[in-house]
Structure 1
Amino acid sequence: MRQALKALKANRLKTLLIYLSLIFSITSIFLITAISNGVISMYSSILKSDGDIIVTQAKISDTFFSNVNIQLLDKIDQIEGVVKSSAIIVGATPVEQLPIVAVYGVSQNRFSNYTLTQGNYPQNNEVMLGESVYKNLMNKTQVTIANKSYKIAGVFKSDIGFENGGVVLNIEDASALFNKSASMLMVNTQLESNIDDIKSEIEALSSEIEATSTQNFVENYNQFKIIKTSSYAVSLIAFCMGLLSIVSIMSITINQRKTEFGIKRAIGISMRKIIAQIVSESFILGFLSYISAFFIAHIVLFIIKQSTTLQGYVNGEISSSLALFIFSASIAMSIIGSIIPALNASKTDPVILIQGTKI
């Protein structure tokens, strides 16, 4: 390890280039994965906030297109084991100067999910705003949504970015706004109830609906799968770019150190030990780069979260499992990137190495 540190100090420029390449790649992987996880987590939290079962339109690809008859709530409430059922409409529209804002139309029994910081819950033709939206509006008394003005009845705070940057109104007003009855029905059940039996009874009420446990819905939601797949694909590209940079820089570094390696081999030091030293150098760089990228990613995510321009819609989560995965990827990237040119050098005769012939 001491020899590895000396070698890194002796090749400071190359060390710095590899270090910066690793930081850039690892930070990119952190941010891409963390932000996609944050988006999924925020929407999942909304779905899980008030329901064990989610009822949507049958054979629909996305909840934004779902349309469920809100009149089913009365029938669902009569099913044994159901504690409460509520309805929500999910949409998005420009609001004032803001290009896109999440709009939630909710039934009266869902208003208690929102913690008011000022004002009251909305009546007809009224809305309440998340703090992020409220701060960005010039007019604090009324707001225009899809060419219709609504009185601002109150302001609420939510830890969920999508809600804190959103607008909440009565589901009757949202129904007129988006021309649908409800996007989803949320069903809360008793703890000892059989979820499958309740789902079957709900689906028996109409052939146009589909009931799914909240956990299964979140795990199999198509949009979540698309987000995850996209983030993995972009992260893989960042990984490959970092790997290519390291291989290129390490090839140049090893080529410049060929005389050193040739002398070591001539005095009896095996190439295996030389390769082990190079791998140690790369491990040190990978570890330090990971630590730096970890803190940089947290700083960037904090800045993003505090940005009023993004209204809280972009948020990142770095879980312990994600941190461990990226640590493994970082070490693998640095070691693989160095061992390829090192193995190439090990196949060269020490006399050629000493003479300075290109590897």
Structure 2
Amino acid sequence: MAMKILSVCVSQLALLFLLLNLANGQGLKLGFYNKICPQAEQIIQKTIARYVLRAPTLAAPLLRMHFHDCFVRGCDASLLLNSTKGNTAEKDHPSNLSLRGFYIFDAVKEAVEKVCPGVVSCADIVALAARDAVSLIHGPTWDVPTGRRDGRVSKISDILSNSPSPFMNITQLKQMFSAKGLDSKDLAVLSGGHTIGNSHCTGFSYRIYSFTGKGDTDPALDSKYIPKLKAKCKPGDTTTLVEMDPGSFRTFDTHYYSLIQKRRGLFVSDSALLNDPVTNAYITTAVASPATFFKDFAASMVKMGKVGVLTGNAGEIRKVCYKIN
């Protein structure tokens, strides 16, 4: 009887340690591939450079991919999985349809598979690609702990309750980030990723045409900025792209925070940063010290990259990134 109780306790402890491991990113380490595939990070960087240096605007979606992936089921490359006959995957959710560059991960995976078959995970490729893409456009760089494994599940139904949206207020955003082990500073810092990239009009047009459903505009948005946005986005426009950081959307800098100070953040989620003492204060810090923002962005990216990771024997190492083995 005592042995049976002991066995149950051991099993429960093993489960607890597994959960803690998944939650805290334990099992990741710098240089994970140094012995088993020493060329891995160099191959990934070289392949990403081949695309981003030719088309710098690809840096923004590659960064967004890592963010979107980590918030849903953790950083397990579930975002890269294709839908199947019996399941609609994350990438086919409306919020992910604007993502582009999936073919880049296919190219990277093919390159590393030629050298080290069955060794490098798609999840690590996503994390390293985000770092390399930002670095290539003269943004910050950071050391990426590796050792992630790939998830086998990707469900469109997981998006709504896990992924931050541009329509969220500050309370919703803080709750969403807190659920992933990220604090208010991380929220302010990672929002700075909006310094690069574009948005479809559908991400913000209601702010300029019918904020409360009565043909009004969002009072949190600079009234002098609204005519400029209306000139770019007509009612019902679903195809036009608008710069998230006008005049600086190809450059990784702190101009995004200057726009928020002027009440010209494109999304409700951008304007929301003014409504919390921590996030509001960080806006001032970032504008005053770009170097501080670069350092903080690197730290928050490392922290985010550990959310819900699969390590050890969990998950798998996919042969191709768009389907499970």
Task: With the length of structure 1 as denominator, give the TM-score of the two structures.
Answer: 0.24
Q: Which has the larger radius of gyration?
A: 1
Identify, as 1 or 2, the structure richer in helix: 1
Task: With the length of structure 2 as denominator, give the TM-score of the two structures.
Answer: 0.26
Identify, as 1 or 2, the structure richer in strand: 1
